[in-house]
Structure 1
Amino acid sequence: MTQTYTVMKEAEPFYFPGNDIGILIQHGFTGTTQSMRGLGEHLAKCGFTVHGPRLKGHGTHYEEMENTTYEDWIESSDEGYRKLKETCSEVFVVGLSMGGTLALHLARQYPETKGIVLINAAMKMDQLEQVAQMEEPRFLDAIGSDIKAEGVQELAYEKTPLKSVREIVKFMEVTREKVPAIHCPALILVSKEDHVVPPDNSRFIYENLKSGDKTLAELENSYHVATLDNDKERICRETEAFIKRLAES
């Protein structure tokens, strides 16, 4: 009998219909749409069509995540992109952490992507690569909720499957190779202090992207989950300005 899992409250996908400018917003590894909803709501108020899919195996139980692969996460992302293409003439992709890795994948897969916004995107994490070599335990301590602001919690799994760590390590490796072939405009936002993804990941992306329109901006007052942290309003403003500039060009 197949185990069925219930989606956590606030982990549901979101879709806000608007104009013909579509924005795909993607959460991170072991996280949920809760981390991206505020940014999504802000962009929806600007008139854009905004979609935040729930990546397969996320937002339910870490035992379900254990049975998914990075190809499954790509498929969730790809489905979201195609959904926006049904009604939108242009699509932007925004991603936090592994959501940023997915954004890079999509930008390579769909060269017509109008622009990408990467927030503490994951490209190479030595610590996770070491963990991926382990045989046990089956479940590791959580990596979510790296937030500087007091009293703010990310809705994320309390455990991380070792099998899933191996999947994200493989995904980062295959995506790193694609970065030099990506040409679309990019806004890269990186926290000065991040205890999950080293800030040099964002510098690697900035230096290797072939885009002639790329910006690397440092977030001074947030940790990894910056979309819920002290710089969240700044992220909203800068993402809005980036999209509006390109949508009007």
Structure 2
Amino acid sequence: MPVLAGAEPFSHTDSTEVGVLLCHGFTGNPASMRPWGEFLAGRGLTVSCPRLPGHGTTWQECNRTRWTDWYDCVDAEFTALSRRCESVFVFGQSMGGTLALRLAQRRGDAVAGLALVNPSVLTRRLDAKFLPVLAPVLPSVKGLGGDIKKPGVTELAYDRTPVRAAESLRRLWKLVRADLSLVTQPLLLLHSVVDHIVEPVNSEVVARGVRSVELVDVPLRDSYHVATLDNDAPLIFERSAEFVREVRQVGAR
């Protein structure tokens, strides 16, 4: 399928010491992560943001993919970065945070640290309870993209939510929640106080469930869900770069 203009994957190779894997969200694409990636590359880090299967094309194609396809994509990219860099951090937004947590659960100490922006591990939406029943018969519903507070900023995302893919995401949430105690890596948790897509309780569940000794909690008070494109983006970028630097300094002692 043709890729939407702006939704292409990107990478910057600058360092053999530190690599950062960026993971975008459900029905989104690398466009929402590009400013973050460019900032980190400007700080001399190697950065990679793959386009997840079924994303950045059409919602119909997304409906033909499952969470295992998305995970395999970021896992393969993590492996590639690990061959080039001494330390690899994983940063994710929304479902990208879910995938980052799963990588940490599966890869253990190979993941140097996590920076998560509004990660999703559950939803309290009543309609989500019907996903298993709706998935076989209802192709899509209204899209969830574009939850941004900053005037004039839009997100490149699908205008429809693929229901079969959403049901697969629900299954991933269940696995990640069950294994949160396996996450012991340093964690930077950035979460919007007001989020119309991923309820703030998600970050609370993550913070309570992980066993990270180093856990930094940063509330985002001037952004909605797509915070990497919103008013708090500079804060996210600066704090994540500081996080990498601090984790590396601790590891060098």
- Does the CA contact (< 8 Å) of 1:147 and 1:222 recur in 2? yes
Q: Which of 3, 9, 19 is 2:5 aligned to?
A: 9
1 CA distance for matches of 2:248 and 2:5?
33
Identity among equivalent positions (%) equals: 37
Q: Distance in 2 between matches of 1:226 and 1:46?
A: 20
Aligned: 1:132 with 2:139: no
Q: Which residue pairs with 2:72 in the alignment?
A: 75
Give the counterpart letter for 2:118 in structure 1.
N
2:115 pairs with one of 92, 114, 117: 117
Where do 4+ consecutive residues of structure 1 move more than 3 Å? none
1:177 aligns with 2:174: no
Which of 9, 23, 26 is 2:23 aligned to? 26
Question: Where does the alignment leave 5 or more consecutive residues of structure 2 unmatched?
Answer: none
Paired with 1:15 and 1:131, the residues of 2 have a C-alpha distance of 38
Residue 228 of structure 2 is aligned to residue 220 of structure 1 = no
CA RMSD across the alignment: 1.0
Q: 3-state SS of the aligned residue for 1:103? A: helix
What is the SS of the residue equivalent to 1:86?
helix
CA deviation map 1:28-56 (0-9, x unaligned): 00001000000000000111100001011
Give the partner amino acid of 1:18.
Answer: D
Aligned to 2:246: 245
Provide the rounded CA distance (Å) in 2 between the counterparts of 1:245 and 1:145.
33
Q: List alignment gaps of at least 5 residues for structure 1.
A: none
**TM-score normalised by L of structure 1:** 0.96
Q: TM-score if structure 2 supplies the norm length?
A: 0.94
Q: Note if contact 1:131-1:165 (Cα within 8 Å) is conserved in structure 2.
A: no
Deviation at 1:134, TM superposition (A): 4.2
Instruction: Give me the whole-angstrom Cα distance separating, in 2, the residues matched to 1:131 and 1:165.
Output: 11
